[in-house]
Amino acid sequence: MYINILFSHSRVLAVKTVPVGTARLTSLCRVRGHSVAPSKAAVSGIQNMKSLPYFCRGEVVRGFGRGSKELGIPTANFPDSVVDNLPADISTGIYYGWACIGNGDVYKMVMSIGWNPYYKNTKKSMETHIIHKFKEDFYGQTLSAVLVGYIRSEKSFPSLEDLIAAINSDIEEAKVQLELPEHSKLKEDNFFTSTTNSSPVSSSSAASTSQSIINGH
């Protein structure tokens, strides 16, 4: 069971420039029915639909340092204020969407939102894995991302190998889902080409720009 997001063909969405350190959401989403019975994860994810797609931007900060070292799956992390100001109806779990660093190319991504039960984190995070091989780290640069759909709820795993297998499965599902026309068109959203996206946020300006978030459209 996949939850797909469609945009109303009878409405026109006017997109405004979103500055660094902000986010916007829309409510032009609905769930497309399937003939198969929905999974529990999919049903629990339906509550997230009204805030998707969800656009966010901020400086890449250092996370727990596990993505590359333990999992072989590097992640880019948003600052606390972006995490703390997520809409209430975007629950914890695994999402898919699009992301870019600075004014670079836009790539498919998966994002984990929550506490990562396997590691028993005490701090909520938004960890983004961009499905592309980068030659170097991008701490301090600007991460722009749009959450398009929901894959599953977060859960613990009996072993590190099981966790890695689940993440790789999430990545493969994201690749498939983002090929759908209603999802792939968001890759071209002018959110990713706005002038504010071309200027990385410096550490000195983080407190006044990247450390704030504005929901709305």
Q: Which residues are catalytic?
A: 127
Cα 43 → chain centroid: 19
Q: Pull the structure tokens for residue 137.
A: 């780290």
**What is the residue-wise DSSP string for the chain?**
----EE--TT--PPPPP--TT-EEE----EEPP-SSPPPHHHHHHGGGGGG-SEEEEEE-B---S-IIIIIS---EE--HHHHHTS-TTS-SEEEEEEEEETTS--EEEEEEEE--TTTT-SS-EEEEEESS--SS--TTSEEEEEEEEEEE-----SSHHHHHHHHHHHHHHHHHHTTSHHHHGGGG-GGGTSGGGGSPPPGGGTTTTTT------
* β-bridge pairing 107-114 and 125-130: antiparallel
Residues 171 and 77: beta-carbon distance below 8 Å: no
